[in-house]
């Protein structure tokens, strides 16, 4: 496996190598000083086949050449094939001298029971043989297809490291932890979350991970009274309980786009001043935020109102405008977008040629509404 992780020195070197093709504001600082591109490549969608693997590998190689140094995946994406595609592409780029390991921020997730390559004929038999019989998962650990016990996460981290071919994953998320709230009450949920974070702190100590966090869908963007709501205050308290003041919970991921602006507009997180939106709460706590679904799986890549062009100028396509909206939002670090075609990489990476929209201009999108 390839040693190392993203570093302040490596990512600064990478950013400098891209300086002629990008505008200021494209790279943002992660905890520890590493610099992450404001557009990242996601690997969620696509068939579970070799042809899609090859598409992703070519797209990843081109993205690394075009100033995109954030690669996002999860063990259950395309039944582990997305992690493996990233691993092959990154190894090939390192071998060719396109990048070094410490230039690139690789993020993955664990929480959902994952098939291996393709759906088996008998899923329950597969999970029994893979997870239950070896003692990785015990009765009562699983909510639906979700699990976040220390035993399970330790197993998933090692599988992801092998898939990616990396000794150290830069950011590892508990994947949609709010899923557990479908069946357990909040005190039990927080107990499970503390146990999960304890396992992740151990993985950091073993240099299997650099940082960890939570990748959510609904949790951080719904009202506090809803059952699946996640309180950042409670989540960070759980991290402090197991990791102390120097805990390694430093990144969150949540959906944010023109059609799903709740992270910026909905005051749902506790703060000294009352309730504030998630992005403000995260920024105040020193948490880096990566936005998923930046173009809403392609739905925002066409047909946007023409007046957006005046507020988000200098761009050629609606997909670029949708990305520019996300990366220009205060509190957003990286806008993730699925890219498995080189043409999409060229289009999306082209956003970096334009600086993020200044706040005085950006806020017109909301004052006009």
| Chain segment 119-151, per-residue pLDDT in tens | 999 998 999 999 999 999 998 899 999 999 999
Number of residues that make up the chain: 369
Which residue range is the domain that position 149 belongs to? 26-368
**What six digits make up the tokens of 251?**
């990144």
Residue 208, domain member (yes or no): yes
pLDDT tens track for 265-276 = 999 999 888 999
Mean pLDDT over the full length of the chain: 95
- The CATH number of the domain holding residue 301 is 3.20.20.100
Residue 19, domain member (yes or no): no
Mean pLDDT within 168-182: 98
Mean pLDDT within 201-228: 97
Residue 247, domain member (yes or no): yes
Give residue 296's pLDDT: 82
Mean pLDDT within 34-41: 98
Three-state SS letters, 112-126? ECCCECECCCCHHHH
Give residue 129's pLDDT: 95
What is the spatial distance between Cα 159 and Cα 327, in angstroms, rounded to a whole number? 32
Residue 104, domain member (yes or no): yes
272 contacts: CB under 8 Å, gap ≥ 6:
none
pLDDT tens track for 231-240 = 999 999 999 9
122-131, 198-207, 301-310: segment of lowest average pLDDT: 301-310
Give residue 353's pLDDT: 95
What is the spatial distance between Cα 215 and Cα 44, in angstroms, rounded to a whole number? 13
Give residue 324's pLDDT: 96
Whether 117 contacts 25, CB under 8 Å:
no
Residue 9, domain member (yes or no): no
Give residue 300's pLDDT: 73
Residue 251, domain member (yes or no): yes
Nearest to 69, CA basis, from 334, 324, 320? 334
Residue 13, domain member (yes or no): no
Which percentage of the chain shows pLDDT scores above 90? 89
Tally of structural domains, the chain: 1
Buried b (16+ CB within 10 A) or exposed e, 157-182: bebbbebbbbebbbbbbbbbbbbbbe
Give residue 11's pLDDT: 98
Mean pLDDT within 156-178: 98
pLDDT tens track for 355-369 = 999 998 888 887 755
Mean pLDDT within 168-177: 98
Distances (CA, A) of 233 to 59, 95, 184, 281: 38, 43, 20, 9
Residue 66, domain member (yes or no): yes
Whether 164 contacts 206, CB under 8 Å:
no
pLDDT tens track for 335-350 = 999 999 999 999 999 9
Three-state SS letters, the chain? CECCCCCHHHHHHHHHHCCCCCCCCCEEECHHHCEEECEEEECCCCCCCHHHHHHHHHHHHHHHHCCCCEEECCCCHHHHHHHHHHHHHHHHHHHHCCCCHHHCEEEEEECECCCECECCCCHHHHHHHHHHCCCCCCCCCCECCECCCHHHHHHHHHHHHHHHCECCEEEEEEECHHHHHHCCCHHHHHHHHHHHHHHHHHHHHCCCEEEEEEECCCCCCCCCCCCCCCCHHHHHHHHHHHHCCCCCEEEEEEECECCECHHHHCEEEEECCEEEEHHHHHHHCCCEEEEECCCCCCCCCCCCCCCHHHHCCCCCCHHHHHHHHHHHCCCCCEEEEECCCHHHHHHHHHHHHCCCCCHHHHCHHHHHC
Residue 215 has pLDDT above 70, yes or no: yes
């Amino acid at each position: 496996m390839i040693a190392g992780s993203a570093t302040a020195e490596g990512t600064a070197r990478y950013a400098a190598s891209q300086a002629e093709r990008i505008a200021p504001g494209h790279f943002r600082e992660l905890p520890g000083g590493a610099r992450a591109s404001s557009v990242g490549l996601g690997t969620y969608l696509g068939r579970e086949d070799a042809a899609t693997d090859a598409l992703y590998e070519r797209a990843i190689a081109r993205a690394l050449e075009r100033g995109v140094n954030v690669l996002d995946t999860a063990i259950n994406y395309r039944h582990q094939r997305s992690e493996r595609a990233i691993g092959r592409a990154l190894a090939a780029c390192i071998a060719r001298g396109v990048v070094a390991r410490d230039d690139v921020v690789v993020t993955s997730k664990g929480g959902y029971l994952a098939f291996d390559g393709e759906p088996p004929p008998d899923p329950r038999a597969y999970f029994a043989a893979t997870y239950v019989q070896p003692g990785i998962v015990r009765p009562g650990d699983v909510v639906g297809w979700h699990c976040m016990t220390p035993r399970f996460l330790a197993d998933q981290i090692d599988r992801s490291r092998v898939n990616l071919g990396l000794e150290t994953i830069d950011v590892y998320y508990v994947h949609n932890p709010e899923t557990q709230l479908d069946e357990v009450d909040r005190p039990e949920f927080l107990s499970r979350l503390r146990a999960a974070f304890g396992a992740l702190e151990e993985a950091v100590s073993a240099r299997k991970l650099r940082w960890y966090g939570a990748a959510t869908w609904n949790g951080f963007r719904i009202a506090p009274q809803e059952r699946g709501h996640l309180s950042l205050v409670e989540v960070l308290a759980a991290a402090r309980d197991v990791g102390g003041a120097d805990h390694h919970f430093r990144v969150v991921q949540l959906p944010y786009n023109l059609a799903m602006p709740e992270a910026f507009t909905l005051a749902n997180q506790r703060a000294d001043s009352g309730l504030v939106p998630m992005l403000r709460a995260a920024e105040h706590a020193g948490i880096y935020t990566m936005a998923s679904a930046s173009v809403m799986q392609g739905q925002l890549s066409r047909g946007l109102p023409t007046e957006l062009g005046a507020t988000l100028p200098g761009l050629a396509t609606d997909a670029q405008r949708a990305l520019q909206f996300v990366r220009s939002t205060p509190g957003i670090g990286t806008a993730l977008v699925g890219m498995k075609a080189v043409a999409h990489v060229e289009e999306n990476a082209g956003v970096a040629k334009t600086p993020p929209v200044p706040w005085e201009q950006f806020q017109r999108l909301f004052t006009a509404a």
